[in-house]
Amino acid sequence: MNIAAAARASGLIPKTIRYHEEIGLVTPQRRPNGYRHFSRDDVHRLKFLSRARQLDFSLQDCRNLLTSRSSANVREIAARHLAQVEERLADLSQLRVAL
């Protein structure tokens, strides 16, 4: 599928998809005419990236999650992220009390 169809399927805008390609998070094939061709796996990766970014994972964490072959490594990344979220929640709770 082309970038417009991949955008519709993944919920991302084409500009974001191009950026993800530029930084190496997704590598669609190129047709002889130079157009991008996104496979189902590419769209799956884009959906994953979209959801991970909504959950505020960094691009580096997304890269590590996509390339990790170890479930222990994935758990470590998720646990570290959860600790950061809990820290932010505690800070926001203190802010609420102060206000």
The tens digit of pLDDT for each residue in 7-28 reads: 999 999 999 999 999 999 999 9
> 72-95 pLDDT, tens per residue?
999 999 999 999 999 999 999 999
* Rounded Cα distance, 97 and 25, in Å: 41
- What's the pTM? 0.84
- Per the rule left: phi > 0, alpha: psi between -120 and 50, beta: everything else, 70 is beta
CA distance 23 to 15: 13
With bands split at pLDDT 50, 70 and 90, how would you rate the model's confidence at 68? confident
Pair 37, 1: CB distance under 8 Å: yes
**Is residue 25 a contact partner of residue 64, using CB atoms and an 8 Å limit?**
no
